[in-house]
Amino acid sequence: MDRKLRGISAVILIIGGLTLLSVENQVSILNEIKFTGKLAVATRNSPTTYYEGSEGSSGFEYDLVKRFADELGVELEITIPQSLDRIISMVTNNEIHFAAAGLTVTDARKQIMRFTSPYQHVTQQLIYRTRTGLARPRKITDLFGREIEVVADSSHAERLKTLKEKYPELDWEENTDLNSEELLDLVSENMLDHTIADSNEIAINRRFYPELRIAFNISPKEPIAWAFPKSNDNSLFNAATLFIDNMRRNGEIERILERYYGHVMNFDYVGTRTYKNHINRRLPSYREQFEKAGKENGIDWRLLAAMAYQESHWNPRARSPTGVRGLMMLTQNTAKLMKIENRLDPAQSIDGGSRYIKRMIEKIPEQIKEPDRTWMAMASYNVGYGHLEDARVITQIRGGNPDSWNDVKENLPLLTRKKWYKNTKHGYARGWEPVRYVENIRSYYDLLVWHTEGGEGERKIEPKAVVIDSPVL
């Protein structure tokens, strides 16, 4: 080979080597995230997605995406844009890695973004308020001429545009300033005829606005998923999709959903209205005692108040057929143990009940973490620690997690069945009672937090985030 050919071959080899080196040095999005240690995610500030609770960051979307970040071994950086449209633009413009914002997967959105496997399904529901001059709408044509407002660029707006093709007389306004929860507030205040909300949003918020009603569903079930930019780099998208699929298969998604929605599904309109009335009329007489007891025992005073409401509806002279008495409905044995002389004295009752529930929390095995620890302590307060332990044993026998309240509460009712209780240490118990007891207290607590943090009390159009997490302990 002559000198000229050797020179050309050398150049080709160098160019080829540089090209190969360049390809090898291309860093995938996933590897870049692991190198920088940062995962940038956009979400919404709402009870169904992300909010700052009493123990810090909370919300279904937050819990899910935080687990993904932990699995990657990186720090989660949350961004909360001012509007839904801004969230979508941040995704399409590659300003973030993805959005975990409770986004419904729609045909229009799939044109500009790509979605992971769904982790939740919701239905769009038309919302109205009772006790107005407007009759309940039962079909789309009943909405002609009525005021409807939805969040701009939302799946609700997309659905209405689809319906308008069949019903040209259907009209609505798209609001660029308010979110879905704020529009629900306007309907509750009789400042707006109708809005549309996803079924998960209305499930949580109806407790705070008891006059709100579901008129009818305006969509079939729709998937919710994480939204990613369209890209040739599939590394992060594939990892997220695999993560969601695994979480769904191992039941973790259902457990997170249960944590945030399990205690709100059985909505009691009459009971909620009565409770809200009692917050205004009865609670002020005892609030100072609850706050004092909460501070002394390291328990959120609103949790103690919620427990007392479940026990006595804040009636200091309440009495049950079994002889438990007072605001916290203490038994004679409990009162004696807590050195309470007069169960009918509100301050003594609150003091004794608070110290007793703290005692129950401390009795729960150390490996059980919050919020499960508190829920199990409450169940013990209701049914007895021995029966709770029996239920935990049954849970383990049936392949569940005895340290998870969600698993244990599924098995507590089995204490009414001879097949199960005959082999337990403490025997028969009305196991469904502590389940109902705990779930009621969780709902009462949510309502009280909402009320004390600027909900109905101040009539703000921008409601505070709802705490659906464990109390401060």
Question: Strand, coil or helix: what is 159?
Answer: helix
pLDDT digit string (tens) for 288-311?
999 999 999 999 999 999 999 999
Pairing of strands 56-58, 51-53: antiparallel
pLDDT of residue 5: 47
pLDDT of residue 130: 86
Q: Is the pTM of this model over 0.85?
A: no
Per-residue pLDDT of the chain (473 residues; tens, 9 = 90+): 555 545 545 544 444 444 443 434 468 999 999 999 999 999 998 878 887 754 568 889 999 999 999 999 999 999 999 889 999 999 999 999 999 999 999 999 999 999 999 999 999 999 999 877 788 999 999 999 999 999 998 999 999 999 999 999 999 999 988 888 889 988 988 899 999 999 999 888 877 787 889 999 999 999 999 999 999 999 999 999 999 999 999 989 988 888 788 766 655 666 777 888 899 999 999 999 999 999 999 999 999 999 999 999 999 988 875 578 899 999 888 899 999 999 999 999 999 999 999 999 999 999 999 889 999 999 998 888 999 999 999 999 999 999 999 999 999 988 888 788 888 898 888 888 888 889 889 989 989 998 888 655 432 222 222 222 322 22
pLDDT of residue 267: 57
Query: Dmax over Cα atoms in the chain, in whole Å?
Result: 111
Q: Are 309 and 315 in contact (CB under 8 A)?
A: no
pLDDT of residue 404: 93
Q: What are phi and psi of 46, to 5 degrees?
A: -160, 165
Q: What share of the chain is helix, strand, coil (3-state, %, to 5)?
A: 50, 15, 35
Is 311 one of the annotated active-site residues of the chain?
yes
Residues in Cβ contact with 238 at an 8 Å cutoff, skipping those fewer than 6 apart: none
C-alpha–C-alpha distance, residues 127 and 63, integer Å:
28
C-alpha–C-alpha distance, residues 13 and 7, integer Å:
10
Amino acid identity of residue 68, one-letter, is F
Question: Strand, coil or helix: what is 174?
Answer: strand
Domains identified in the chain and CATH numbers: 29-117+226-261 (3.40.190.10), 124-219 (3.40.190.10), 269-452 (1.10.530.10)
Question: Strand, coil or helix: what is 233?
Answer: coil
Marked catalytic residue, from 149, 181, 311, 439: 311
